[in-house]
Homo-oligomer: A and B are copies of this chain.
Amino acid sequence: MTTSSSKAEATRTRILDAALELFRRQGVESSRMRVIAGEAGDYLGSAYYYFESKEDLVMAFYERAIEAMIPGMEDALASSDSFEGRVAAIMKVKFEYFRPNRAFLGALFRHAADPQNRLSPFSEATRSIREVAPTYFARSMSAKSGSLKVPKDLAAHLPKMLWLYQMGLILYWIYDRSPHQQRTQRLVTASLSLIVAGLSLARFALLKPLRTKIVELIVLAENEHGHA
């Protein structure tokens, strides 16, 4: 990295830090680009050079989060031999990383259901981000103990389904006002236990029609997803 590019990187980081700090303090809606630039000590207006809008800053936050969590994710995958243990560890990494940004994340989730909103996790703009996360869930399935034998038709869709599941858990966690978000913890445990029980039954012939219908529903949802 040349000196000028690392200087640029440092400026970009400083602006993003200032923006996140402001988002946390007063919310995304009422934070103005001009104020963000001021907080970053950027009086030359280069904030606009790096980030055209608040939305760009939020996207940068998503990207930074994914990158920052890589080591934690690797540790999480290495921490257990079971599928259940790995997914629980992945969720722990996410909750820990997002803890200081819980309120801010809540503001973002208000747009989550609308795939035409750029900041929605289902939007075109967040597609590349959306494609990273399921890879960890895919790896969580290939546990060494080999206890998770999922029929192929279902296995192909499982990483994306698990990604959707974790979105639900994060949404629950955002509004969980119990001490240390214990409720979310109980929900993680109970729902993972249910998922494992369901997956371990999935190979039985009796459940074949049900499995076919589940896969049909998933394919339907994926094809229509984000109006792609």
Binds B, one of A3-11, A44-52, A106-114: A106-114
- Asked if A191 contacts B217 (CB within 8 A), the reply is yes
Nearest B-chain residue to A111, judged by Cβ: B110
Point out the residue from B111, B116, B190, B204 that lies within 8 Å of A220, measured CB to CB. B190
Q: Is the CB of A151 closer than 8 A to any CB of chain B? A: no
Residues in A lying within 8 Å of B, measured CB to CB: 106, 109-111, 113-116, 171, 174-175, 177-178, 183, 186-187, 190-191, 193-194, 197-198, 201, 204, 206-207, 209-210, 213-214, 216-217, 220-221, 224, 227
Residues of B within 8 A of A174 (CB): 113
Query: Contact at B194–A217, with CB atoms within 8 Å?
Result: yes
Give the chain B neighbours of A106 by CB distance below 8 A: 113-114
Distance between A199 CB and nearest chain B CB, rounded to angstroms: 10
* 9 more CB-based (< 8 A) A-B contacts, given A178-B227, A186-B224: A110-B111, A113-B171, A115-B175, A116-B175, A178-B224, A190-B220, A193-B213, A194-B217, A197-B213
Task: State in angstroms the CA–CA spacing of A114 and B177 once bound together.
Answer: 10
Give CA–CA (A187, B225) in the complex, Å.
Answer: 12
Listed from nearest, the 7 A-B pairs whose CB atoms lie closest are A110-B110, A194-B213, A190-B217, A114-B175, A197-B210, A183-B224, A197-B213
**Known contacts A110-B111, A210-B198: does B190 contact A116 (CB below 8 Å)?**
no
Given known contacts A186-B220, A198-B210, is B116 in contact with A177 (CB within 8 Å)? Answer: yes
A115 contact set on B, CB distance < 8 A: 175
